[in-house]
Structure 1
Amino acid sequence: MGGFSPLLLLLTIIISFILVIIFTSFGSVKIPFEEIIKIFTDEANPMYKTLILDLRLPRVIGSFLVGSILAISGNILQLIIQNPLADPYIIGISSGASFGAVLYTALSSVFGITLIFGIEFFSFAFAMATTFIVLYISREGKKIPILSLILSGVIISFLFNSLSTLLTVMYWRNLIHVNLWLMGSTGDIGWNDNIILFIVLTVLVSTIFFFSKELNVLSMGDNLAVFSGINPEKIKILLIVISVLAVSAAVAKAGIIGFVGLIIPHIVRMIKGPHSRLSSLYNLFLGGIFLMICDYISRTIFAPSELPIGVITSLAGAPLFIYVMKKSRNKS
C-alpha cells in the first residue's frame, strides 16, 4: 500500500484512452482504427463517422463517466459510514429510482397520461426523494447515527421495491421493458447526457478535493472529528447529499448498475490506501475502466443482442469482491 505514484496514475489514464479507442472500434460492426482517427477530417467514411460520433463514442464515454461517478460516490460513502460494505445504493437510491421509472411507465403506458418530464426525471426525482426521506427518518436531534441511516435505508428500500413489484405484477405487459432499463444500459446515452455526467463528475471530484481533510478524519470516527474541530454531522449530510445527487444522475442516465461503487473502492484501498484525495483519482479511472469493459462485454457477447450491463457487473463483481475480501482478511 503506497502513496501517490505519478507513474501508476499516468498508466491508468493512458489505459483509459486506449480502451476508449478499442471499444469504439469493436462491436457488432468492426470499425478500423484508422477510421476512428479520421473522424475529424474530410477523409472519414460517412457511415463510420455517423456510427462513431452518434452511437459508439458517446456510449463508451458515458460508460466511463457513469463508472467513475459510482466508484467515487461509493468511496465517499464507505469513508463516511465507516463500513467497507457500503455502496451508493445503501440508503435506498436504487429502490427510489426503480419506483420512479416504473411509476412513469405505468402513468404513460397504462393510463395514457401525457407527462411533461421523461423517465429519467422521474427516476432522478424519486432517487433524491428516497434519500431525503431516509435522512429525515434516521435523524436523532442534530445527529444521524450510522446504524439508523443504514436501517432506514433498508426499510425504505423494501417499501419502494414492494410498490415497484406491485405495479409490475398488476401491469406486467406494459412494464416488462422497464425492467431491462432498470438492470442497466448505456445504449441510450448521447452527447448531451455526457455533458451532464461530466459536470456531475467534476463537482464530485472538486468536492472531495475541497473536503479531503474532513473525509480522512471522518473515516477514523466522529470522536476524532469533533476533537479536530470538525462538525461531523454537517459534513456527513453535505457529502451524502452530493454523492446521492451524483449517483441519482448516473442512475437516471444508465439505470441501476451494481458492484461498481462497492468493489472499485476496495481495490483502490488495497493498492493506494484510504487517502481520499488520492483515492478519488484512482477510483475515477478504475471505475471508468471497469464499466467500459463490462459495457463492451454486454453489447458484444451475444451481438447483435445485448445483455443488461448490470448482469455483467454482477457476474464480474461478485467473485472479484469475494477475492478482494479474502485477500484483505489474510493481510489483516
Structure 2
Amino acid sequence: MQINDVDIKNTYAEGFGIKVTRILVTAATQELAKIAATEATGYGTSVIGCPAEAGIDCFVPAEETPDGRPGYAIMICHASKKSLDHELMERIGMCILTAPTAAAFNLLDSEDVLKTGFKLKYFGDGFEKDLEIAGKTVHSIPIMSGDFLVESTFGFKDGVAGGNFFILAKDQMTGVKAAQLAVAAIANVEGVITPFPGGMVASGSKVGSNKYSFLPASTNEKMCVTLKDEVDSDIREDADGVFEIVIDGIDEESVKAAMKAGIQAACAVDGVLEISAGNFEGKLGSYIMNLHDLF
C-alpha cells in the first residue's frame, strides 16, 4: 500500500489502556491560557519515567467556555486512578492556580469523577466561596491577583495510550518536517494529545533491555539509524531520519482518526520513504491498530 508513493507497511500500532481526564484551562487572554496549559502538561511525555502523560488537546474560543474567556483543552493520563488523582491536584494546584488569571473547568462528562476542585478549595483557608457558573459547581479561591475559579469535580474515563506510527525519511531534517506537519494535522482531531516534545519522539524504546535487567525500557536498536550496520535493523538502507509520533486519546476511534490524519500529512512531504508502526507482539497492550485498516 502506498500514499503519494510512500510505502505504508502492513503492520500495527499496539496501544494500551489508560485513564484520561480532559480539563479546560481559561485565562484573560489566549496567551495567558496557553502559558497555564503548557505548565500544567509539563514533564508528561511517557509513564515509563514521567508521573503522567499529558498534553494540550486544542484551543477553545471564548464563546465556548463557561466563563467567556479563551482557553485550552488539556489531557492528563495515568494507568492508576490514585495516581491520576494525585497528578490533578499537583498540576492544577501548582501550575494553574499559580498562573496569572487562570481558571480550570471539567471537560469530560463521566460518572467517574475526581474531587480535585473540592479538595483544592481549602487552600482558601476559610475564605473560599461556592459558585454556580454555566450549571457547574465552582469554587472561588481568593489569591493575590483576584479569585481562582476551579470546578469541584473532574471526570475521567478509560482511554487509549500508545497509538503510534514511525516516519522513515531520507534524512533527519526531512523527518522533522514530516513529523511537524503530522503533529499539526493531529491537532485538528479533538480528544487526543501527542505528549512528547513538540509531539515528536526522537528516541524510541522497547520493553525491557537486552543487557541490563534493572531497566523497564531501553533504546529500540532496530530503529536506530546509526546502528543499521550493527544489528538486525528494521530501517531500510536509504532512510537516515526516523521519528515516531505517539498519540493518547479518549477512545480508540479518536486515536485511529489521529493516526490517519498524521500519516496523510507526513506522506505529503517529499523525501518521506515509509510509514511503519511500533508494537511489542501483544506484550504491552490490547489495542491493535493496523495501518492499512486506517485507510
Under TM normalisation by the shorter chain, which class is it?
A: under 0.3
Taking CA–CA contacts closer than 8 Å with sequence separation of 6 or more, which of the two structures ends up with the larger relative contact order?
1
Larger helix share, 1 or 2: 1
Q: TM-score, normalised by structure 1?
A: 0.23
